[in-house]
Amino acid sequence: MSFFKQIQSALISVYDKSGLEEIIHLLAKQNVKLYSTGGTQRFIEDLGYKVTAVEDLSSYPAIFGGRVKTLHPKIFGAILYRRNNPADVEEARNFEIPDIDLVIVDLYPFEKTLASGAAEDEIIEKIDIGGISLIRAAAKNFSDVMIVPAMEYYAELLHVLKENNGFTKLETRKTFAQYAFQVSSHYDSAIYNYFAQNDAHKALRLSKNNVQNLRYGENPHQKGQFIGDLNELFEQIHGKPISYNNLLDVDAALQLISEFKETTCAILKHNNACGLASREALKDAYAAALEGDPVSAFGGVIVVNKVIDKPTAELMNQLFFEVLIAPGFDSDALSILIQKKNRILLLLKKIDIYQTSVKSALNGFLVQERDTKTEQIADLKCETAICPNEKEMEDLVFANIIVKHTKSNAIVLAKDKQLIASGAGETSRIDALKHAIDKAKHFKLDLSDAVMASDAFFPFADSVETAFKNGIKCVIQPGGSVRDQESIDFCNKHHMAMVFTGIRHFKH
């Protein structure tokens, strides 16, 4: 049942005055009595309208440099008293507390101030006290009061005021109360995370306001959403709506490509690289990446770290793929790539990925730092009599980056900065290696002088034995097994080189 109430008075206290003018004009036209504070009061007066200062309502001045303006029983009583409760009505009459039917607030910009790198004193001053209290009070009393908690809701307020000629429905006020607690909880989460940023035992407080409904989740029978602002990272310039599974692959693709400075192309399927290569020319990097596994590349996600040119686009256009991510597209390349109407093209703006990973597990969450450690040549320790040469070292680092981003148990075989094959997500390390070798042979890729990378130590010497039998002479692994010496001894006996990183890269 719709319970209509007429807005006869409004308290307006906003930090940012943008978009407020049209609301003031409409409220004045509808004969709404206006109350306001400080800068907002002056803004309304400059528009030529009469407004009552909250100090006149409370008979108490703003104090402490404006820290205390609206925090007064007369103001909060005007918002919180229950109009259908005889005792509340009587108290309001006795204390000469008026009705406030509409509250409009735009909070101090705490997050923007924090992001600006401001000093702590300035950050603290941008913690809104009065505004957040007004929001909570008005939202709690939605039966009688309409709350507009941020400027992003101004357009919806204008629609309500115009459509109902200054009246509001109960269900509308309740919807705006929901907005209010969304704003207040997000605001408080940001403040808490600022204060707890160095606390190793801090509670989990995540808050994102942008919600994008997806076609479905991992499977058609599952609902799915993305919560966050994808527009900060990229612009979709072509194709069908992006899906849940697309986004998982895009996330994996961006984490992987961010590791490379050379011209590089990676092709991913189910979050794992099935092709990757670095070359001087982008078209050559794509061709070498595709060569690694042209079967798995079908329907995959492609990511590059250079602008797509026409020669590269012509090659890519021969393959069916779901998503292409690039920092730019030449116009003649774009005209080729948009020929497939469903093909998703993402223009990358920046790579900005959370440094904390959160997964739901059991009746709670698992939280960890992202694996941001990437070993360089200087970090590698040669454990064998023969050590890798400069070219082999470069391939070892290259392979180690890929295996870091591959589902465990993982083995990567690489050569000349090209992913030859990988074994991903196997339940044993030797099976991961055998799978990689079989795949390389299936696509007739030469394993002689290739290098092998493992995401974790070898529990037995069987992996280096199998690698040697297939022409692999160089190995990179974390080390740390009680049986490391068996692998080292085998390598020494067969003139293989092996380096340890000391860093495990499990990925589940």
Q: Which residues are catalytic?
A: 140, 270
Do β-strands 451-454 and 411-415 pair in parallel, antiparallel, or remain unpaired? Answer: antiparallel
Distance, in Å, from the CA atom of 381 to the CA atom of 282, rounded to the nearest integer, reads: 33
Q: How many residues does the chain have?
A: 508
Q: What are phi and psi of 329, to 5 degrees?
A: -135, 125
Distance, in Å, from the CA atom of 84 to the CA atom of 461, rounded to the nearest integer, reads: 80
Q: How far is CA 211 from CA 10, 169, 205, 207, 230, in A?
A: 30, 25, 17, 11, 10
Distance, in Å, from the CA atom of 422 to the CA atom of 419, rounded to the nearest integer, reads: 8
Amino acid at 480: G
> Cβ atoms within 10 A of the Cβ of 169, count?
17
Cis peptide before 210 (omega within 30 of 0): no
**What stretches of 164-301 show up as alpha helix (H) in DSSP?**
170-195, 244-257, 282-292
Tokens found for residue 85:
């409760």
Q: Which residue has the tokens 């990757």?
A: 276
Phi-psi region of 15 (alpha: psi -120 to 50; beta: other; left: phi over 0): alpha
Amino acid at 340: K
Tokens found for residue 385:
């009599």
Tokens found for residue 447:
């394993």
Phi-psi region of 122 (alpha: psi -120 to 50; beta: other; left: phi over 0): alpha
